[in-house]
A and B are shown apart, each in its own frame.
Chain A
């Protein structure tokens, strides 16, 4: 056949494929990410292989004390901290309402429940969930656990049916947070970054701040994305920054392990919920 006689030299093939590669690199990420999502959609069942075993492995790791008691403790701890934060927010709201009549805001505009399709646990800590822009999900939105009581990450990229979630522990994660000690009203702002392993750090905090192990870290409210503070984790280590003696080096342990979750919820704006109805 005619096409069998076409011989391409290695040099021409190299140049052609290299140009194709650069074209792929040059195309915008918002466009090429659909190829990655397509791959995940096609091979979803195969990509999930081993996830169950991994979840069991993570769950079976020995906790500090009894694992069941620890889980129960975590649940109650989160509920208490969230209630406390909500109480404070509502109290402030009440004080404002005493002066201005207005409608009370909902705790969050709307929630989209999504199943975790696959997890990335290498250099990047990410989840892929089975809901996308068709369901109102947009980059930047907060992702919370099924029980709606703690934040585990933010949406990074979306396609029509899938989304990529950047977890708190991912090194490129950068989230505005508030640190507060239980029983006190003072709170300190900071930026939470992932350490790439299983914890997060809050850098560049002045040593004038009174911070201790056990202080609670909340995601800061952001208009349209998060109306009330929601717990992220607990300060597990406070020490002096070796490079900057006037700053703290703070380690935060996220309260929930995203790799043990099967379903998560994404906070979406209320107007999308209204449009859907």
Chain B
């Protein structure tokens, strides 16, 4: 995998999450916005090899923490969710948009709820974000997923290194 391009990609997504551009498509006075990083998490967890998927999940979580205001919660939650998703690669194939929506919705809800709990634990704040806002953002993220999925499929081709032709030559040599 081309890690440099991968880092650029998640940095771009983190800038989108932390910046003002997504406010232009937000609902409910800016409260409900899609999370590009959650879509990246699901995509890379299901596309990469298991060790790549684990590393990608934690890296995307770290980027989500950077874009937020508390370090740690997203790294842990995204890492856990991504690692679990990577174990389901044989069972889950997200070719149909409906499956993409379902998996992103569940992952998004789980990530939002668990990371918020950890963030409250760390900062000792007493006012959590209401569940309606978290659920709305998760729904919006899931709705956006089928739009971004084909783009990510295109990007994936440039992110993976082309297979070395050495193996083929070796086989020809043996023949």
Contacts and interface: CB of A to CB of B under 8 A. Distances in A.
B18 interface: yes
B133 A121 contact: no
Interface string A38-61: 011001001111110110010000
A172 B69 contact: no
A94 B21 CA distance: 52
Nearest to A29: B123
B83 interface: yes
B66 A118 contact: no
Interface string B4-27: 000000010011001111111010
Interface in A176-222: 193, 196-198
B129 A36 contact: no
Nearest to A22: B76
A175 B62 CA distance: 32
A32 interface: yes
A14 interface: yes
Nearest to B17: A122
B79 A21 contact: yes
A10 B51 contact: yes
A171 B127 contact: yes
Contacts of A198: 29
A223 B69 CA distance: 29
B69 A46 contact: no
Q: What interface size band does chain B fall in?
A: 35 or more
Nearest to A31: B71
Nearest to B121: A25
Given A10-B50, A24-B65, A196 B58 contact: no
B66 A121 contact: no
Interface string A124-152: 10100000000000000000000000000
B164 interface: no
B115 to A, nearest CB: 10
Interface string B28-65: 11111100000000000000001101110010011001
A17 B60 CA distance: 12
**Do most interface residues of chain B lie in helix, strand or loop, or is the interface mixed?**
helix
Q: What interface size band does chain A fall in?
A: 35 or more
Given A18-B80, A24-B71, A48 B20 contact: yes
A62 interface: no
A9 B50 CA distance: 9
A36 B76 contact: no
B118 to A, nearest CB: 6
B19 A121 contact: no
B145 interface: no
B137 to A, nearest CB: 7
Nearest to A197: B29
A79 B23 CA distance: 32
Give the 8 A-B residue pairs with the shortest CB-CB distance, closest first. A25-B72, A121-B30, A32-B71, A123-B129, A50-B21, A21-B75, A24-B72, A47-B19
Given A13-B54, A50-B19, 7 more contacts: A33-B69, A33-B71, A39-B67, A43-B19, A126-B69, A157-B69, A172-B125
Interface of B: 11, 14-15, 18-24, 26, 28-33, 50-51, 53-55, 58, 61-62, 65-73, 75-76, 79-80, 83, 86, 118, 122-123, 125-127, 129-130, 133-134, 137
